[in-house]
Copies of this chain bind each other. A is one copy, B any other.
Amino acid sequence: MTPTLGIGLIGYAFMGAAHSQAWRTAPHFFDLPLRPDLAVLAGRDPARLTAAAGKLGWRETETDWHRLLERDDIDLVDVCTPGDTHAEIAVAALEAGKHVLCEKPLANTVAEAEAMADAAAKAAARGVRSMVGFTYRRVPAIGLARQLVADGRLGEIRHVRAQYLQDWIADPAAPMSWRLEKDKAGSGALGDIGAHIVDLTQHITGQALTGVSALLETFVPERPLPASAGSLSGVGGEGTGTVTVDDAAVFLGRFTGGALGVFEATRFALGRKNAIRIEINGSRGSLAFDFEDMNVLHFFDGDDPDETAGFRRIVVTEPGHPYVSAWWPAGHGLGYEHGFTHQVVDLVTAIAQNTDPAPSFADGLQVQRVLDAVERSAGDRSTWTEIPS
């Protein structure tokens, strides 16, 4: 009989729904060493919490997340709250001996992230595991990309260009939200989506960014308050609120191996809904990926003769591709949510095997340091700003 792993999830919005689907689905496609028990959903509003628990498949609810740390039936706390609460919850959970899965970005500040990484290191020494939720790593095409680099198929990496393009607030009439308030969200496009392309490019290349030069921009500094403005703290005035985060972030970077990086994260790329685009050029091969066509990886093999060389459009649905054999026959593609299921598989496997899952809180801290360097560079005439290792 497979032993269970009791899960307590905090938050039931977009990320809460995605994580719930992953916890529910993973055991039906993968052979997990521990059976996830969707024990408790936590949140503050009792009525909405109860409705969400029913919808998302959770057995019980708690309106105070601290209760999760006291319950014996909770082995793992899954943190899907806004960034300003990550540090408090995660540190407390780890100290209470609960494994932690924490949504990205790890925290809103480097200091918070450092505290979390410290707590994670101490917890790991006691066999308590932690992971930060950079789920796009677990798109099969991204996994294949990392493998190709690790196998030397790209040779020496020279160029990394990465964009994360959305357009959901391109319209100046789009209302205020907590994601546009620095107190809640830490930063704007930078932390919300820029963090993903920082993590993905470092993950694929196996290299870290060593420095950046950056610009940040807020194109629409005032926005109408939403219908129920009361839910927003720190805003007011005559019907508009002040956007206190970046709408877009662009930056140059260097990787440890010398490659040049060019990054762009924006919520103002009209017509691009969730376009994560990564292109990497090496001395022996090149890669290109676009999340708008997520089951495909383009690979240029420099070893092919010139006359028959070309970017190969690899449909990443073969049984030999990462995670794929658990799903459908070749050509039957996966969707956005599958990355979350793969995340759960890897996390549960690591817990059962007593190994540290990746990406760790230390990885999350390192990304936070990149984001911090971007903000400092942007505030200092784009001057080159080194990233502490």
Known: A159-B269, A215-B254, A281-B270. A20 touches B24 (CB 8 A): no
Q: Are A283 and B170 in contact (CB under 8 A)?
A: yes
Cross-chain contact B271 with A248 (CB below 8 angstroms): no
Instruction: Decide: A270 near B285, CB < 8 A? Known: A307-B144, A307-B318.
Output: yes
Contact between A330 and B250 (Cβ–Cβ < 8 Å)?
no
CB pair B284–A270 under 8 Å, yes or no, is yes
Taking A271-B302, A302-B270, A310-B313 as contacts, is the C-beta distance between A331 and B292 under 8 angstroms? Answer: yes
Q: Which of these binds chain B: A116-124, A161-169, A202-210, A228-236?
A: A161-169
Q: Which of A297-333 contact B (CB under 8 A)?
A: 298-302, 304, 306-315, 317-321, 328-333
User: Nearest B residue to A215 by beta-carbon distance?
Assistant: B252
Inter-subunit contact A260/B331 (CB<8 Å): no
User: Shortest distance in angstroms between A63's beta carbon and chain B's nearest beta carbon?
Assistant: 22
Q: With A271-B309, A284-B270, A328-B14 in contact, is A260–B215 under 8 Å at CB?
A: yes
Question: B381 touching A274 by the CB < 8 A rule?
Answer: no
Given known pairs A274-B331, A333-B336, the reply for A308 and B315 (CB within 8 Å) is no
Among B159, B295, B329, point to the contact of A168 (Cβ < 8 A): B329
Q: Is the CB of B14 within 8 A of A21?
A: no
A342, CB-defined interface residue at 8 Å: no
The answer to whether A312 touches B321 (Cβ under 8 A) is no
- In the complex, which of the residues A14, A274, A282 has the most CB atoms of chain B within 10 Å of its own CB atom? A274
Residue of B nearest to A322 (CB): B307
Q: Is the CB of B57 within 8 A of A28?
A: yes
A334 at interface (Cβ–Cβ under 8 A)? yes
Asked if B313 contacts A308 (CB within 8 A), the reply is no
* A48 proximal to B (CB < 8 A): no
Question: In the bound complex, do residue A311 and residue B381 qualify as a contact, i.e. CB atoms below 8 Å apart?
Answer: no
Given contacts A294-B333, A312-B312, contact A260 B283 (CB under 8 A): no
Is A293's CB within 8 Å of the partner chain B? Answer: yes
| Neighbouring B residues of A273 by C-beta, 8 Å | 315, 317, 329-332
**Interface residue A37 (Cβ < 8 Å from any Cβ of B):** no
Contacts of A258 in B (CB 8 A): 217, 219
Does A337 lie at the interface of the complex (its beta carbon under 8 Å from any beta carbon of B)?
Answer: yes
Decide: B163 and A161 in contact? CB cutoff 8 A.
yes
- How many angstroms from the CA of A271 to the CA of B296 in the assembled complex? 13
- Of A292, A319, A335, most B-chain CB atoms within 10 Å: A335
Which of A20, A163, A286, A331 has the most B CB atoms < 10 Å from its CB? Answer: A331
How distant is the Cα of A273 from the Cα of B331 in the complex, in angstroms? 5
With the chains together, A299 CA to B287 CA distance in Å?
18
A152 CA to B303 CA in the complex, in Å?
20
Alpha-carbon distance A332/B285, docked complex (angstroms):
21
Can you give 6 A-B contacts (C-beta < 8 A)? A28-B56, A165-B281, A268-B281, A270-B282, A273-B331, A383-B384
Q: A168-B330, A251-B252, A268-B281 are in contact. List 14 more A-B contacts (CB 8 A).
A: A158-B266, A161-B163, A161-B264, A217-B258, A270-B282, A270-B285, A271-B302, A271-B309, A272-B286, A274-B331, A292-B315, A298-B313, A306-B318, A312-B313
